Structure 1
Amino acid sequence: MRRGHIAAVAAAGVLTALSAVPAHATEYSSALKVKGIQYDAPGRDSNNCTTGNTDEEYLTIKNYSSTATVNLKGYVVKDATGNTFTFTRSHSLQPGDYVKLRGGHGTDSDAKNVVYRNNCNFMWNNPGDTIYLYKPSGAHADTHKYTKSANDPDGNGYITYHG
């Protein structure tokens, strides 16, 4: 009787652990992961390059390694419809460091942890989308599917992943 109880408790623990992982998240072997996304820029959406707010839409990518520095050059970010951004310049992330990939135009800055897509069109769809991060080799680094209704309960347009 006791062994049966222990087995049942162990099985329940495994089921609880499995249910804690969101069905839409896939884990890949990569130091770089999506930390969060501001998929809905504050205010009324406008992709006008001069007065628009596409620079308020951003994806935060973090180096979760405790020891390795990772160069973003060659990493690719895509969405579900095929919008693509490739990091073409060297931008090194120290362990624990992050970069915000912003829409719009601006000056890339290691000191300010920002890279601009130099494109005034919004990349992320407000109702829902899928974020793909690929290594320079083409291997997956991270993927997240989101919907506004399921993943943004406070409705602020920001979703956090990987803490």
Structure 2
Amino acid sequence: MQIRPTLAATSALSVSALAAAALLTAAPAHAGTEYSSALKVRGVQYDAPGRDDNRCSGGNTSKEYVTVKNYSRTATVNLKGYVVKDKTGNRFTFTKSHTLEPGDYVRLRGGKGTDSDAKNVVYRNNCNFMWNNDKDTIYLYKPSGAHADTHAYTKSGNDRDGNGYIGFHN
């Protein structure tokens, strides 16, 4: 049985309600699962420029990063306790306080370095690559364990220019 709305039922809906319904059903180009969270994955440099070399001294793991952005217009968010994880279970937990003002972001880089709120960078202090160069899934969890954001990518499907970077929530 197919149910069709009648003209009277349709006209009862306001234009703004129809617009809101359309927005709810629209999906971004790199659709991930949408969760209610101010923090979202802005993008990932999943393939570090150059030949992959995970040596702590002279390697290029610090050129691989994920950017987490505070998309709230009003809320300041502390990253302490947030977790970034990949599909195979590699994970990083923000153990220190890093405050993101509305619109601010942080790049979580591989390798070793000095965290800097002024430079918007946190290092994993691990010289192994976290993101696969062909495909992977990025998970962002709130300190409570609830999902904040998730994005799956494939090199062939999402990296149109082949530069090793994919943006989300642009």
Residue 86 of structure 1 pairs with residue 93 of structure 2: yes
Q: In structure 2, how many angstroms separate the alpha carbons of the residues matched to 1:94 and 1:24?
A: 25
Q: Deviations over 1:113-141 (max 9, x none)?
A: 00000000000000000000000000000
Pick one of 63, 69, 77 that aligns with 1:62: 69
* TM-score normalised over the length of structure 1: 0.88
- Indicate if the aligned counterparts of 2:30 and 2:168 stay in contact, CA closer than 8 A: no
Q: In structure 1, how many angstroms separate the alpha carbons of the residues matched to 2:94 and 2:27?
A: 33
Instruction: Give the counterpart letter for 2:117 in structure 1.
Output: D
Give 1:110's aligned residue. 117
Give 2:38's aligned residue. 31
Aligned Cα root-mean-square deviation (Å): 2.2
CA distance 1:23–1:159, change in 2 (3 Å): closer
Instruction: Give the counterpart letter for 1:47 in structure 2.
Output: N
Residue 71 of structure 1 pairs with residue 59 of structure 2: no
Q: In structure 2, how many angstroms separate the alpha carbons of the residues matched to 1:105 and 1:93?
A: 22
Instruction: Give the counterpart letter for 2:93 in structure 1.
Output: T
Give 1:161's aligned residue. 168
Instruction: Give the counterpart letter for 2:80 in structure 1.
Output: K
List runs of 5+ in structure 1 lacking aligned partners.
7-13
Superposition map of 1:37-48 within 5 A:
37-48=44-55
Deviation at 1:105, TM superposition (A): 0.1
CA distance 1:150–1:19, change in 2 (3 Å): farther
Q: What fraction of aligned residue pairs are identical, expressed as a percent?
A: 75
Instruction: Give the counterpart letter for 2:142 in structure 1.
Output: K
Give 1:131's aligned residue. 138
Aligned length: 155
Give 1:9's aligned residue. none
Q: Deviations over 1:75-111 (max 9, x none)?
A: 0000000000000000000000000000000000000
Instruction: Give the counterpart letter for 1:37 in structure 2.
Output: V
CA distance 1:107–1:23, change in 2 (3 Å): closer
1:150 aligned counterpart, secondary structure = helix
Give runs of ≥4 in structure 1 deviating > 2 Å.
17-24
* TM-score normalised over the length of structure 2: 0.85
Deviation at 1:19, TM superposition (A): 6.4
Q: In structure 1, how many angstroms separate the alpha carbons of the residues matched to 2:41 and 2:27?
A: 18
